[in-house]
Every structure is written in structure tokens, then in C-alpha cells.
Chains A and B, each alone.
Chain A
Amino acid sequence: MFFDALKGELPESLSVDVCIIGAGVAGITIAKQLKNEGLRIALVESGGLQLNPDVQDLYNGENIGLPYDPLDACRLRFFGGTSNHWGGWTRPMDRVDFEKREWIPWSGWPITLDDVAPYYEQAQNLVEVDGTPYDAEFFSPESSTNYLVDRANIETKIFKLSPPTRFLKSYKVDFNDAHSVVVLLNSNVVDFVLSESGKTVQAAQIKTLAGKNTAVTATHFVLACGGIENARILLNCRKANKSGLGNDDDLVGRFFSDHDGILSGNAVLGQRLLKSTFYQLHVPEIVRKAGLNTRIVPAFTLAEKILREKSLPNFNTYVLPVPDNAKAKGSLSIYPDIEGLVNFVEGTPLHPAGSRRFFQLVTAFENTPNPNSRVMLGDKRDALGLLRCKLNWQRSDNDEILARRLTMEFSRQFALAGLGRVNIDKDNIWPQKSLEIGRHHMGTTRMSSSPKHGVVDKNCRVHTTNNLFVAGSSVFASYGFAQPTLTIIALALRLSSHIKQQVSRA
């Protein structure tokens, strides 16, 4: 059932079992999971059913760190959240992404891939990609086209593309007649009412842009407003603790990260590799595997044992054809000769004149968590009276070290596998100049086993509270390279199970 506060439909008070704040991918997933479990649910959404500039303005903020998108442009504040403009790329995180690795300070989750893996298939269904594995081996044997390359230590990673699923369009219908779920639109959570001990959230205080107020009481609260806004809301709750709710150890908002991409090099490919259709299939040329409706995109990576042996971050590298005019700069002007060398060594014929193809390598890798990269509160207030966001995005110094190391190692392994040769523009590989970031906001309420190292525990509960949970990529402790949406959904499904169990026990 939908109630629009701006249409005067805001109830004077509301008491439910679970109050979910934010109707984006995570919030909607949890509400869908719990709505048939005999629980009363409130799904509180700041926006309505379409973009409203006044509501979107609540996202405005200040960037004081590395150049970043305007904060009101890289996310959407209405039912469905940022799924209303996401690109649709999906991939689970890898096992190594959850592990603590000495060469990546602050890396590691208090859970493993095994804790999340059972939820990935259902997550795939929610974003309308088929439930088959993301393993290259699954696609390779039965494929009629040779688009996978696994040689020596070079491996292929698979991405699957969602249509992309817009959660507004696809899942609003689930709540139209759901009597167990009250969806409050244009309703903003501006504070939490805590018990005397300060450990239990008793109510979420709600305010509208028209100045109306109400409160939702519940036994469980889930904050699901996105990687930046989750931290901002906690930091703005300063009645009990001036540093913010759950922020006793000054960790809320820290470890903000995005997924970096670098132009890691240019490649000349041997004729043998060029015959593979692999290289015809990358963005924007995407394959549709026979018999499946899901489009997939393959990319290179290195074997996990090499990542460990060489102390490298997890990463993937796309091979993108580039126009011939891009080849005539600097050392790249000799690429036809390198191509000649490669083909001579490989025993394959030289390309006919004018038919050479030149390729650019684009690498996305996991950034090192950086406590000094953070979401903070600025001095200005929004229309609700909350302090606006001040984002200070900073990369770790370790990122450059790892980026250079992985680029060199990838180049070596690429040649060792007989795939071609790579040119690294070592003077310009770092800092990145032009490549777009992922707009994946992660890490600001990171998961940890101890409150000294993070904001939420392994069940996504804020360490300092009994009943406030956080959903979304803000809980990511380290980031992998995969787009976060599928893991956000898998974690939301896992959190739904946890809450259901807790309520059952109660």
C-alpha cells in the first residue's frame, strides 16, 4: 500500500515490525522478502514515484577531495533508487575479495564468500539474469564461438548484463496491494529515537518537505539509503552522541571508495588471438549466448595463485579495439613492428597492409580501503535541516603501487601466454586522467568483527545498537572489482533471512 506524504497521506504514527529506510535496490529486496512472512513492514522512501528536483536536491553536497561527480547527479532519490539509471553489469564478488591480504591494508570481511554465495542465484533472478554460473568454463565448452581465452595464468572472467532491471518499473507492483507493507513516499528519516541505554532504536523520525512530521516505531530498523547517504544519516543523528549514531570510534563515513579504472596499456595481439571472436565481443559489442537470454561480457584476469604470489589486487582487464588514429603517438608508432615481431615469433603471417588492429587495455581493480577517504558533514543544511554531505574522496598511496605492479605482471603473463605484447605508458598510468569511475559508493559503514575496525557486524547490525541494521554497499569492507549491485542484493537477502530468524525467535 502506497501513501504519499506530499498528498497528505502521512499517518500520524505507525508501528511495524520492520522499518526499512530507503526504497532502492537493497530496501526493496528486503521488503519483498519479508512481506509474506507475517511481518508488518514500513518502507520509507524520501522520493516519490518519479524524479522531483526538490527531493533530488537533498543529495546536493560538497566535494573537497579528488574530482568526483556532483553528489546529486551520481544517484537517484525516488522509488527504485539508483537502479533507475544503473548500467546493468553484474558479477558476484570472488572468494579472494573477502579475505584479508597483507598487501592490501584494511582488506578482509568478517564473513566469507560461502556466507553470501547461497544468495547470489536469487539475486540474479531479481535483476533478470539467468541463474547459470559466472564461470568461464560453463560458457566455453558448449559455445559455438571461441570467445574465452584461458592460457597459462591468464583467465577469463564473465560479467552478465541485466536488461537492466529498473526496480520501480519491475517491483512497484509487488507493493500495490500488499497489506503487510506500508510504503511511505516523500517521507524522510531525519533522526532516530533511542532507548535510555542508547542501544535500542525505538522510532524513526520522519519529516516531509512540506514540514509535516511523524514517527515509525519498530522492533527492527534497516538503513538502506546508499553508500553515501547511510553514513550521512548516521552522522546527522547527534542527540545521543555528538559524533553521530554508531560512530563511537569515529568510523562512520570513513573508507569511502569507488571502483577505479585505469588505461593500463595498449596491446598488440598475435594473429592466433585475433582469430578468436573474443575481441569482437567487448563493449559495445556484446554477445548473447545461444540458448540463454542473458548477455555476457568476458574480460581477462590472472589466476588467483598469481594474485597471491605477486601480492596483487583483484582486477579485470577489458581489451577494447581503438581507432587506427590512436596508434600514431609516441612509442605506439612502432606498434606495427612489434606486431611483426609477435607474429614472427608465433609463426603466424603478418597482417595484410592496412588490416592491423590495435587494442587498448582498460583495467578495473580493487582499491585499497583508505580511512582518510570519507563522507563527512558540511556546514550547510538541506531543506529538512540536516547537514549536507561533504565528500573527501582520497585514494590510498597503495593504489598506485598495486596498479603499477599488476600492470607489469599482467603484461608479462600476457606475453608468456603467447597472446601478444603490451605497451605500458608508465609515466601516465598514474594518476588516472580520463577514465570514468564506477559511481559505486562503498565502505562508509564497513563490516567488521570488532567495533574498533568497522561500523556493522557480520549480520549488518550497527555494533553499538541492538536493532539497527545497514543494507547496501556501505557495508563492504573491501571492494573487489565487480560491480556492487549483485552483492548488495545478495547481502540484502541474507539480512532478510537474519531478521526473519530474529523475529521468529522473539
Chain B
Amino acid sequence: MPEYLVGRRKFIALTLASCLSMRSWDVIAAEQEHGALLQILTVISTHQDFFKHLGRVYAKDAQSALVKFIDEFGLVNRFPSVEEFRFLLQERIQNDFLRGDVLSVGGWVLSPTEVLFCGALLAQAHRSH
């Protein structure tokens, strides 16, 4: 069996378990049914293979990835527009690459912010399921 499948099972179990405790996020998300963040988080949420690979990086800590992402972007208190969010994201990613702060995920050279973003998407996708 390929290594990533083992990791994925473990990851899914962890993710499901951890997402059950995300009460505050559920409430916020429900209140913002048509919020920009939900739109953002669903933009590429259909790409399960992508999550599978990128999620491996956060397999042990998908919940904290989401919490950290939301916290660092100040999304709990303020849901920006998609464009504002994109600007924040771009700025963070630029700074990551500028500092030389990069991660290799399946060979892809990405910024930690990108991976964090994808980890958050991953957690959100599984929470939705």
C-alpha cells in the first residue's frame, strides 16, 4: 500500500476527531452563511488529491492549522472581502518566500502560508463532510 494512504487514514481520523471540537468556528461559519471566507474556502475545495498531499504536512494537527490560520489572519473578528483576503494572503506568501521560508510538499516548493491555507481548506472540507 502506498505510504500516503496510510497517512491519509490517520489524517482523516485525526481531522474528524479534531473538527468535532471546533464549536466556535461552526458558530461563526453558520452566522456568516454567505460570508466571503466560506467562498474562499470552497474555491478549490473540490480538489481532494491536492488536500491529500498537502494535508500530509498537517496530518497530525489539522485543527490547529485551521485555528492558527484563522487567528493569524484575524478572521474570527473580521471577515474580509475576497480581494482583501487575497491581498493579505499574497503579502504573507511574498514575505515567506522573501525570507526563504519554504516547505517542500510532494516536491512542490511552497510557502508555509500556502500550506497553512491548504491545511485550513482541508480541515474545512472534512468538517463540511
Contacts and interface: CB of A to CB of B under 8 A. Distances in A.
Interface of A: 265, 330-334, 336-338, 340-341, 344-347, 408, 411-413, 415-416, 421-426
B104 A426 contact: yes
B108 A422 contact: yes
B109 A412 contact: yes
A132 B106 CA distance: 44
Given A333-B49, A334-B49, A416 B108 contact: no
13 contacts: A330-B107, A334-B50, A334-B53, A334-B106, A336-B47, A338-B50, A341-B44, A341-B117, A344-B86, A415-B93, A423-B107, A424-B109, A426-B107
Given A345-B90, A345-B93, A416-B98, A421 B50 contact: no
Contacts of B98: 416
B15 interface: no
Nearest to B83: A347
Contacts of B67: none
A51 B49 CA distance: 57
Contact of A415 (B43, B44, B97, B106): B97
A411 B111 CA distance: 11
Contacts of B114: 341, 345
B30 to A, nearest CB: 24
B50 A337 contact: yes
Given A337-B50, A412-B100, 11 more contacts: A331-B106, A331-B107, A334-B49, A338-B50, A345-B86, A347-B86, A408-B109, A412-B97, A421-B110, A424-B107, A424-B109
Nearest to A415: B97
B43 to A, nearest CB: 6
Given A331-B53, A345-B86, A340 B44 contact: yes
A416 B94 contact: yes
Given A416-B97, A421-B109, A422-B109, A341 B104 contact: no
Nearest to A332: B107
B36 interface: no
A403 to B, nearest CB: 15
